[in-house]
Amino acid sequence: MQVYILHRLFQALFVCLGISLITFFLLHVVGDPVLLLLPQAASDADVALLKEQLGLDRPLAAQYLSFLTDALRGDFGRSLFTQDSAFALILERLPATLELTLAGMLVGLGIAIPLGVISAVKRGALTDRLCTVGAVAGQAMPIFWLGIMLILVFAVKFRVLPASGRGTLWHLILPAVTLGAYLAPLTMRLTRSGMLDVLTQDYIRTARAKGVRERVVLFKHALRNAAIPIVTILGVQFGRLLGGAVVTETVFAWPGVASLAVKAIRTYDYPVVQGAVVFLALVVVLANLLADVAVTFLDPRIRLGREHG
Amino acid sequence: MGRLARLRFLAVGATIVLAAVLCAVMAPLLAPHDPYLPVVSARLIPPVWDAGGTWQYPLGTDPLGRDLLSRIIYGARVSISAGALAVVVAMTFGVLMGLLAGYYGGLVDSIIGNLVNVILAYPFLLLALAAIAALGPSFGNMIVVLGLTGWPVYTRVVRAETLKVREREFVQAARALGLGTARIIRAHVLPNLLNTIIVMASLEVARMIILESFLSFLGLGIQPPTPSWGGMLGEGRVYMLTHWWLAAFPGLAIFITTLGINLFGDGLRDVLDPHRVLTPAGVRAE
């Protein structure tokens, strides 16, 4: 098991390095910060001066290395416009993003897992068909539009919920529902198919034959085993969740890291962009890693299999 | 769900996709008005069923007095072509990488595999946004960005399938007969992966359309005055509190189109590729 976790850690480190390299390459080689920052009429001398000021006149490899070593110390540079430390800006907005993603996940799982279980148990019945149709429609829904429609209905028409911003629990409802609706369809389909696989297993039949109550069979025997693919998917889905957070934060003017990144991308505030993007990518890598480790705890076969293998 | 019900889904999906493609191709014939022409006297007219609406502008007009229905019909051109082109770019690159990784294995496989892991861990939207910020917003750049960020899905699946096909007798026989690698891949490996690739690509078109719309929604994709569903939604959002139709209809167009594509793709999978189930490889970070 330690070997497996070490192997995954090493892999994750490699992925982090790759992410930092791609981000750096995009922002410094594909796009030239100086040309984007200065007005078109700027003279060559201006360009050279700004390059020197920003340290962009050094060789690319040296720039990347200092970006990497600084990043390891939590220093992503300073915002070009406010002169604030990019890392401080990110940390300041981190609680908002965490709040939103956790709430979105709760809503998403709260909808998806019960519906997935019901759908599998009542396979072929009207409930199952309605759930499937709902999931198909949900997967096609552009969530930025869903968010706007929710604002139109609940904030503009009925005036029961705030349209944007963060503060009270009321502010959290619409963004969390939007993000949850993004996460739910796929999770529901996976829960359903996971449960369907498990429900045909012999140990479920045995449990039922022993006279174990149906609720216990479903939630203790079946769901626990169906949870393995669900947890794996949740790890993978965490990336989707953050992608969804980018959209949700933008639509609801939610003051999180993702909306910070989007704003910085628009103004080409590259220290903030690379800080936020690398930071969010690291969170995804970490989530995937945790999901993999969590699965080994849920499924002793993986844990023991890896030790021998 | 019964096979008949699924076939019905396929038919509904195909009808929607066909309608959207027709809108795109025949936009000049179908649109009742010029989508670019501002009419000062017809600004912000509500849809026909709202008070003040008129049949002349069934879905209302925007702040410049342009007909919303005509702009939505023309917007199909952007979304459909962007979705299809982005998928072609991603598919070509992704399939090629998958074939290389699966067929050669070893070092090639581990380099490509690691690259795939990196791209998949990267929040897709942020990667696309950063790339657009670096390249500047334009239709061509958007296609390149969506294509180059969307390829790993194909690579994963094609690699796994290639690994399986590689060991089959007919490929080994071809190799024993002395056929070149390129020929074996083209004539024996690729045809066996075609169904899987077609199904994936058809579903990916929907995802690419949503991503294109979101980029245009943020003002980083298609630039005004070209009508695009995402761009219109972005403009409409500003007027959301007073003129709901500006944001509602372009989004509805996106939703119906992607729903059609998904129904079509799911149905296609049942017909072409009945054994494939939803696996983690098909799920991907955005």
Please report residues of B whose CB lies closer than 8 A to that of A244: 286
For chain A, percent of residues with pLDDT exceeding 70: 95
pLDDT computed for residue B284 by the predictor:
36
Q: Rounded to an integer, what distance in angstroms lies between the CA atom of residue B272 and that of residue B70?
A: 36
**CA B99 – CA B190 distance, rounded (Å):** 8
Given CB atoms, is B259 within the 8 Å cutoff of chain A? yes
pLDDT at B274 over 60: no
ipTM above 0.90, yes or no: no
Nearest CA to CA, how far is B137 from chain A (Å)?
A: 10
Identify the pLDDT of residue B273.
64
Percent of chain B with pLDDT over 90: 43
Residues of A within 8 A of B122 (CB-CB) are 19, 22, 239, 281, 284
The mean pLDDT value of chain B amounts to 87
Per-residue pLDDT, B137 = 84
Of B259, B203, B207, B251, whose CA–CA distance to B228 is shortest?
Answer: B251
Between vectors from CA A49 to CA A47 and to CA A50, what angle results, nearest 5°? 65
Closest residue in B to A265 (Cα–Cα)? B133
A206-218 per-position pLDDT tens digit: 888 898 888 888 8
Max mean pLDDT range (A94-108, B108-122, B137-151): A94-108
Select the more confidently predicted residue: B276 or B202: B202
Cβ separation B126–A277 shorter than 8 A = yes
Per-residue model confidence (pLDDT) at position A251: 92
Considering CB atoms only, which of B117, B134, B254 is closest to A30? Answer: B134
Name the band, by pLDDT with cuts 50, 70 and 90, for residue B2. Answer: low
- Tell me, yes or no, if B281 comes closer than 8 A to chain A by beta carbon: no
Probe site for chain B from A40, A97, A136, A144 (most B CB atoms < 10 A):
A144
CB of B249 less than 8 A from some CB of A: no
**Within 10 Å of residue B182's Cβ, how many Cβ atoms?**
8
pLDDT at B34: 92
In chain B, residues with a C-beta closer than 8 Å to the C-beta of A229 are 280
Beta-carbon count within 10 A of A85 CB: 19
Which residues on chain A are in Cβ contact (under 8 Å) with B277? 193
pLDDT at residue A288, as a whole number: 82
Position A271 pLDDT exceeds 50 = yes
* Cα separation, B66 vs B231, whole angstroms: 14
Query: Is B130 in the A-facing interface, judged by CB distances under 8 Å?
Result: yes
**Average pLDDT score over residue span B62-77:** 93
Query: Which residue reads 């090629």 in tokens?
Result: B96
Check residue A147 and give its pLDDT.
Answer: 95
What number of residues does chain B have? 286
Q: Is the pLDDT of residue A166 over 50?
A: yes
**Residues A188, A229: Cα–Cα separation, whole Å:** 12
pLDDT tens string B11-68: 999 999 999 999 999 999 999 999 998 888 888 889 988 888 889 999 999 999 899 9
Nearest to B163 by CA among B81, B82, B108: B108
pLDDT score, position B28:
93
pLDDT of A171 > 90? The answer is yes
Q: Does A259 score more than 50 pLDDT?
A: yes
Token look-up 């009925």 returns: A158
Q: Check if the beta carbon of residue B150 is closer than 8 Å to that of residue B90.
A: yes
Percent of chain B with pLDDT over 70: 94
pLDDT at B275: 55
Give the pLDDT score at B89: 96
Q: Locate B78 and state its tokens.
A: 């952007």
Contacts of B20 (CB under 8 A, 6+ apart): B76, B79, B80, B256, B257, B260
B114 touches chain A (CB under 8 A): yes
Euclidean distance between CA atoms B252 and A67, whole angstroms: 44
How far apart (Å, rounded) are the C-alpha atoms in residues A265 and A263? 5
**pLDDT of the residue at A1:** 67
Q: Which of A148, A158, A290 to mutate to test the interface with B (most CBs of B within 10 A)?
A: A148
First to last CA, chain B: 29
Least CB-CB distance to B262: which of A140, A238, A240? A140
Residue A199, pLDDT above cutoff 70: yes
Residue A302 has pLDDT above 80, yes or no: no
Among the residue ranges A94-108, B87-101, B265-279, the one predicted with the least confidence is B265-279
Report yes or no: A126 at the B interface, CB cutoff 8 Å.
no
Instruction: Report whether A281 contacts B122 (CB < 8 A).
Output: yes
pTM: 0.88
Q: Which chain B residue lies closest to A260 (C-alpha atoms)?
A: B126
Chain A residue nearest residue B141, CA to CA: A30
Q: Per-residue pLDDT tens for B194-247?
A: 888 888 898 899 999 999 999 999 888 888 888 999 999 999 988 988 899 999
